[in-house]
Amino acid sequence: MSNPPMSENSESTTAANSDRSSKTRQLLGMKGASPGETSIWKIRLQLMKPITWIPLIWGVVCGAASSGGYTWTLENLLKAAACMLLSGPLLAGYTQTINDFYDRDIDAINEPYRPIPSGAISIPQVITQILVLLFAGYGVAYGLDVWAGHEFPNITCLALFGSFLAYIYSAPPLKLKKNGWLGNYALGASYIALPWWAGHALFGELNLTIIILTLIYSLAGLGIAVVNDFKSVEGDRQLGLKSLPVMFGVSTAAWICVIMIDVFQAGIAGYLISIHENLYATILLLLVIPQITFQDMYFLRSPLENDVKYQASAQPFLVLGMLVAGLALGHAGI
């Protein structure tokens, strides 16, 4: 029996790898997936976009660091893990699911393989998922307040506020995402400030300085949020959503995006210098340099084609910078 030609083997391997990559991207909720998943639990997970949980989980770590009160005990590790569950799978999962629910018309244009427009999951099943994630999040938040001995339920209030913000971001009549500036800032604050506040409140006293600094940091998050708008620019234009790429054009929006990402990180570094945390400030500034490099290599040259590649390359340096800032604030006792 003769073996298939080498080229056939190579093509078969390439196709298999491409199929596996597409399925992985689909499960994580990333751009570039393909339809065909039949497992309802995988479809539910896809709706929750696990890839988006990472910055919120990291935000909890940064908040714990900035509190100055985290110590490496088993109890604190379990508290942090529960707070990560709250911020990531539960409330970020709720946010992504409700966003897909209200964006099903846009997704039918931009990403028809998504679970709802493709018909892989029914509307009643989606609504059930939204409610389960929401109330499970409230339950975990209240449990964390009790566990931490809070007289005032700080984390429960943060969960209530965050879920309300997620609702008005996606749902009419407000639908904050219709406004490129307001919607993207709400998204940036949700991904940076809210989990940071939760982690800080869990292990320390949340104060006005931390709130203001993280809201400033969230302006860099606004820039990151704008990156996500480039993949849906055509659908946004057709449906009248005023994302920054629609309002200013792709090239100008790309420049707005990278300037905000870089300038506000540098601003936080400047604040760290002002409180004499010079080493941390230097490290943060050094972490901005590779972000600028990848902005030039990928994003500014072709935002529509390289948005995912840019985020994969540059965002690790941004989130490391967040931790550096958190450690500096904890060290300074802010």
Show the 3-state SS of 140-189: HHHHHHHHHCCCCCHHHHHHHHHHHHHHHHHCCCCCHHHEHHHHHHHHHH
In sign, the C-alpha dihedral spanning 118, 54, 309, 297 is positive
Between CA 179 and CA 172 the distance in angstroms is 12
d(CA 97, CA 132): 11
Q: How far apart are the first and last CA of the chain?
A: 74
Q: What is the pLDDT along the chain (334 residues), one digit of tens a residue?
A: 445 554 555 555 554 455 555 555 555 555 555 556 678 999 999 999 998 898 899 999 999 999 999 999 999 999 999 999 999 999 999 999 999 999 998 888 878 888 999 999 999 999 999 999 999 999 999 999 999 999 999 999 999 999 999 999 999 999 998 888 999 899 899 999 999 999 999 999 999 999 999 999 999 999 988 888 887 787 788 877 788 999 999 999 999 999 999 999 999 999 999 999 999 999 999 999 999 999 999 999 999 889 889 988 998 999 999 999 999 999 999 8
Q: What would you report as the CA-atom Rg of the chain, rounded to the nearest whole angstrom?
A: 21
Topology (CATH) of 37-332? Farnesyl Diphosphate Synthase (1.10.600)
Domain residue extents for the chain: 37-332
Supply the DSSP string of 96-150, one letter for each residue.
Answer: HHHHHHHTHHHHHHH-TTSTTTTTSS-HHHHHHHHHHHHHHHHHHHHHHHHHHT-
Alpha helices in the chain (DSSP H): 6-28, 40-48, 53-67, 74-85, 91-102, 104-110, 123-148, 154-170, 180-203, 208-227, 233-239, 244-248, 250-274, 278-294, 303-332
Say how far apart CA 63 and CA 38 lie, in whole Å: 39
Token pair of 79, please? Answer: 């508290």
Where residue 11 falls (left for φ over 0; alpha for ψ -120 to 50; beta otherwise) is: alpha
Inter-residue contact 87 to 194 (CB < 8 Å): yes
